[in-house]
Each structure stands twice: as C-alpha cells, then as structure tokens.
Amino acid sequence: MTRFTVPGRPVPAARMTRRGKFVSKQAQRYLAYKEKVGWIARQNRVKRMDGPVAVEVYVYLHRGRQGDADNYGKSITDSLNGIAYHDDVQVRRMVVEKRE
C-alpha cells in the first residue's frame, strides 16, 4: 500500500477539447493540479504496479463550491498514469470520499 497527501485545495477533472485546454481557466487549473499530484507521487517514491489496482481518495474541502466526487477521483487516477500504474484502466476499485 502506498499513501501520500497532496496539500492545497483539490481540483476536479475538467472536460477538455483540443483547443479548450489552452483557453479554459478550469482546464489550465486541472492540468496544473495533475502535474502537482504527479510530482508529489514521485517525491514519495510511488512505485509502478502491474495488474489490478485499488485506489482510495479522501478529499478535504472547506466551504466554497464543491465538485462531484467522481471528478475528484478521476483527477487523481489520471495524474498517476505512468507513475503508480501503466494506465488507469488497471484501476478495478475506487473509493472517493469528500470530507469537510
């Protein structure tokens, strides 16, 4: 089991088009967050796994607008592609819990 914490406000996955990732502020925030999660995973020496993977995500939110739980999970699993596993298609079980 590997655990790590990503400080700061979590960013839910954003819908993107080919052009949208260059002009949408939400898409830019999402891409920056994915990069941040990847760097933190590498700093915590997360090793790449083969075979089925289970992911548990705990999202800590404080006031403000809250995204859908599944979009928070997607942002984490997308961020860990090529780092914790070869591709997020390996994720067989995912638990996402929003906490305040």
Residue 98, SS3 per DSSP: strand
**Rounded to an integer, what distance in angstroms lies between the CA atom of residue 23 and that of residue 6?**
26
**Rounded to an integer, what distance in angstroms lies between the CA atom of residue 51 and that of residue 20?**
33
What's the pLDDT tens digit per position in 43-60? 999 999 999 999 999 999
| Confidence at residue 14, expressed as pLDDT on a 0 to 100 scale | 84
What's the pLDDT tens digit per position in 17-46? 665 556 678 888 999 999 999 999 999 999
**56, two tokens:** 């548990």
| Confidence at residue 66, expressed as pLDDT on a 0 to 100 scale | 85
| Confidence at residue 74, expressed as pLDDT on a 0 to 100 scale | 95
